[in-house]
Structure 1
Amino acid sequence: MNGRRLWAIVLKELRQLRRDRITLAMVVGIPVAQLVLFGYAINTNLRGLDAGIADQAGTAGSRALVMDMLATGVVTPTVVADSPEPLMEQIRRGRISIGIVVPADFERRRIDGRQVAQVLVDGSDIAVQSAAAQLAQVPLDSAVPDTRAPLASTPPESRIGVVGFYNPQRRSAIHIVPGLVGVILTMTMVLFTAIAVVRERERGNMELLIATPLTRSELMVGKVLPYVAIGLVQTSVILALGTWLFHVPVRGSLLDVYLAAGLLILGNLALGLLISTRAQSQFQAMQMTFFVFLPSILLSGFMFPFAGMPRLAQWLAEVLPLTHFLRLIRGVMLRGAGLWEMWPDVLALCAFAALAMAIAILRFRKRLD
Structure 2
Amino acid sequence: MMNLRRLGSIVLKELRQLRRDRLTFAMIVGIPTMQLILFGYAINLDVRGLEAAVLDQANTARSRELVAEIGATQVLDLRYRLSTPQEVDNLLRAGKISAALMLPNDFETRLERGDRPALQIVVDGSDQVVQASARQLASFPLPGRAANDVPGIEVLNLYNPQRLAPVNTVPGLIGVILTMTMVLFTAMALVRERERGNLEMLIATPVSPWELTLGKVLPFVGIGLVQVTVVLLLGKLLFAVPLRGSLAALYSAALVFICASLALGVFISTLARSQFQAMQMAFFTFLPQILLSGFMFPFAGMPKVAQWLAEILPLTHFLRLVRGIMLRGAGLAELWPALASLALFTVVMLGIAVTRVSKRLD
Partners of 1:140 and 1:20 lie apart in 2 by 63
The 5 Å alignment of 1:74-89 reads 74-89=75-90
Deviation at 1:151, TM superposition (A): 2.9
User: What amino acid does structure 1 have at the position aligned with 2:141?
Assistant: P
Secondary structure, counterpart of 1:124 in structure 2 = coil
Q: Which residue of 2 aligns with 1:228?
A: 221
CA contact (8 A) 1:195 1:282 kept: yes
Q: How many residues align?
A: 360
Q: Which residue of 2 aligns with 1:129?
A: 131
CA contact (8 A) 1:53 1:80 kept: yes
After superposition, the C-alpha distances for 1:163-207 in whole angstroms (9 at most, x for unaligned) are 000001111100000000000000000001000111001111110
Partners of 1:276 and 1:47 lie apart in 2 by 39
Kindly indicate whether residue 317 of structure 2 is the aligned counterpart of residue 316 of structure 1: no
Partners of 1:199 and 1:335 lie apart in 2 by 42
Deviation at 1:84, TM superposition (A): 2.2
The 5 Å alignment of 1:160-309 reads 160-309=153-302
Secondary structure, counterpart of 1:340 in structure 2 = coil
Consecutive aligned runs of 4 or more in structure 1 exceeding 3 Å deviation: none
Q: Choose which of 141, 146, 153 in structure 2 pairs with 1:151.
A: 146
CA contact (8 A) 1:68 1:138 kept: no
User: What amino acid does structure 2 have at the position aligned with 1:151?
Assistant: A
CA contact (8 A) 1:122 1:128 kept: yes
Q: Which residue of 2 aligns with 1:140?
A: 142
Deviation at 1:152, TM superposition (A): 4.4
Partners of 1:179 and 1:217 lie apart in 2 by 32
Partners of 1:261 and 1:10 lie apart in 2 by 47
Secondary structure, counterpart of 1:367 in structure 2 = coil
User: What amino acid does structure 1 have at the position aligned with 2:260?
Assistant: G
Deviation at 1:83, TM superposition (A): 2.5
Partners of 1:123 and 1:354 lie apart in 2 by 33
Partners of 2:55 and 2:357 lie apart in 1 by 55
CA contact (8 A) 1:186 1:293 kept: yes
Q: Which residue of 1 aligns with 2:108?
A: 107
CA contact (8 A) 1:185 1:231 kept: yes
Partners of 1:215 and 1:60 lie apart in 2 by 70
Partners of 1:100 and 1:6 lie apart in 2 by 70
Secondary structure, counterpart of 1:335 in structure 2 = coil
Q: Which residue of 1 aligns with 2:44?
A: 43
CA contact (8 A) 1:126 1:175 kept: yes
Deviation at 1:343, TM superposition (A): 0.8
Secondary structure, counterpart of 2:333 in structure 1 = helix
Partners of 2:361 and 2:66 lie apart in 1 by 70
Partners of 1:223 and 1:244 lie apart in 2 by 34
Partners of 1:278 and 1:361 lie apart in 2 by 12
Secondary structure, counterpart of 2:359 in structure 1 = coil
Identity of aligned residues (%): 60
Secondary structure, counterpart of 2:44 in structure 1 = coil
Partners of 1:137 and 1:76 lie apart in 2 by 18
Query: Cα RMSD between the aligned structures?
Result: 0.9
User: What amino acid does structure 2 have at the position aligned with 1:350?
Assistant: A
Secondary structure, counterpart of 2:334 in structure 1 = helix
Moved more, 110-119 or 161-170: 110-119
CA contact (8 A) 1:178 1:333 kept: yes
TM-score (norm 1): 0.96
Partners of 2:197 and 2:13 lie apart in 1 by 27
Partners of 1:227 and 1:339 lie apart in 2 by 24
Partners of 1:351 and 1:203 lie apart in 2 by 33
Partners of 1:130 and 1:84 lie apart in 2 by 23
Partners of 1:222 and 1:153 lie apart in 2 by 69
Q: Which residue of 1 aligns with 2:21?
A: 20
Deviation at 1:283, TM superposition (A): 0.1
